[in-house]
Chain A
């Protein structure tokens, strides 16, 4: 019986023990979960944070993620915005570290232009084809 209780206690304790592996025990960075005092600056920071990729949890934004690294990135964003940096300058700083990958905001470049050009071409071709049919029917 006692052994069973011990085993049960162990099983119950397991979920508490496992997160210790591979996770730090330090408190989050000051501005990871704390908003900026100035609502206008916080809104600026928030608008930027939802367009930055969490590097540890690659399909989330840093605003959505509870990963410690996302918290550290939010701290960077908030302290830089609070220090008067423009959101796009903060984005550029991160892009210069991690490449375009870190930003969710679409932008035109030598490798992304087909994404913008193809829909336009498709619409033009479709419009042309429809116009020709309409004329043929008449």
Chain B
């Protein structure tokens, strides 16, 4: 009888532990971000046509010219991309070279977007079928990658850059050798 009772208490203990675990996990905020598995690796080869007449096109060779850069994945139809425009402008003022990839976008829409929210980009490539985005392991717009001078991806920022995150991006850019 005593043996049975100890066994029962062990069961109660296990059940309580499981419920505690569920309660803890359910109360934790869910991380919706899908991180790229490409960090630390070289940027895959690509050669995109220009997204706008006002800036040159973008290829992977442009990202391995010895100077670290920010690679911003954006789109004119993306609302948070407009929200991060002031932060991109601030990064450019701080000396960052920013190149852009416009996802599924039309030239006139890109022009209108840049005219409205500013153009911090040195180059902009257009990716009509998200091919470069997929090869980078990026799962949405906007995203910003830090690329070192050798064309290696060193950091990924998912979502729009908030004002308080500008310093982190600059620090990552500095670590990449800027």
CB–CB A75/B129 < 8 A:
yes
Judged by a CB distance under 8 angstroms, whether A95 is at the interface is yes
Contact B130 A97 (CB under 8 A): no
One of A21, A68, A98 near B139 (C-beta < 8 A): A98
| B34 engages A26 (CB within 8 Å) | no
Contact with A along B101-139 (1 / 0, CB 8 A): 001111001000000000000000000111101111101
- Assess the A55–B34 pair: CB atoms within 8 A: yes
Contact between B129 and A21 (Cβ–Cβ < 8 Å)?
no
Q: For chain B, which range describes its interface: under 10, 10 to 19, 20 to 34, or 35 or more residues?
A: 20 to 34
Q: Which residues of B contact A102 (CB under 8 A)?
A: 34
Taking a contact as CB atoms closer than 8 A, the residue among A20, A26, A95, A97 that contacts B128 in the complex is: A26
Q: Is residue B140 contacting chain A, with contact meaning CB distance below 8 A?
A: yes
Q: Give the Cβ gap from A56 to chain B, nearest Cβ, in Å.
A: 7
B99 at the interface (CB under 8 A from A): no
Cα of A68 to Cα of B75 in the assembled complex, Å: 13
CB proximity of B68 to chain A, nearest CB, Å: 22
Q: In the docked arrangement, what's the CA distance between A75 and B131, Å? A: 9
* Whole-angstrom CA separation of A73 from B135 in the bound complex: 11
17 A-B residue contacts at CB 8 Å? A20-B77, A24-B77, A25-B106, A56-B140, A72-B104, A72-B130, A75-B129, A94-B134, A95-B37, A97-B36, A97-B38, A97-B134, A97-B135, A98-B37, A98-B137, A98-B139, A101-B34
Interfacial residues, chain B to chain A (CB-CB below 8 A): 32, 34-38, 75, 77-79, 103-106, 109, 128-131, 133-137, 139-140
How far is A22 from B142 in the complex, measured between Cα atoms in Å? 11
Interface size of A as a range: 20 to 34
Question: What does the 1/0 interface line of A10-49 toward B look like (CB < 8 Å)?
Answer: 0000000000111111100110000000000000000000
Contact with B along A68-90 (1 / 0, CB 8 A): 11001101100000000000000
Interface centre among B103, B106, B129, B130 (most CB of A within 10 A): B129
Specify which of B35, B36, B139 lies most central, judged by the most chain A CB atoms within 10 Å of its CB.
B139
> What 9 pairs between A and B have smallest CB-CB spacing?
A97-B137, A55-B139, A72-B130, A24-B104, A29-B129, A26-B104, A99-B37, A24-B77, A72-B129
Chain A residues within an 8 Å CB radius of B38 = 96-97
**Please, which residues of chain A bring their CB within 8 A of the CB of B103?**
24
Q: Is the CB of B79 within 8 A of A55?
A: no
Enumerate chain B residues within 8 angstroms of A75, measured Cβ to Cβ. Answer: 129
Which of B35, B128, B130, B136 lies at the interface centre, i.e. has the most chain A CB atoms within 10 A of its CB?
Answer: B130
Q: Are B77 and A25 in contact (CB under 8 A)?
A: yes
Interface hub of A20, A73, A96, A98 (most chain B Cβ within 10 A):
A98
Proximity bits, A118-130, B CB within 8 Å = 1, else 0: 0000000000000
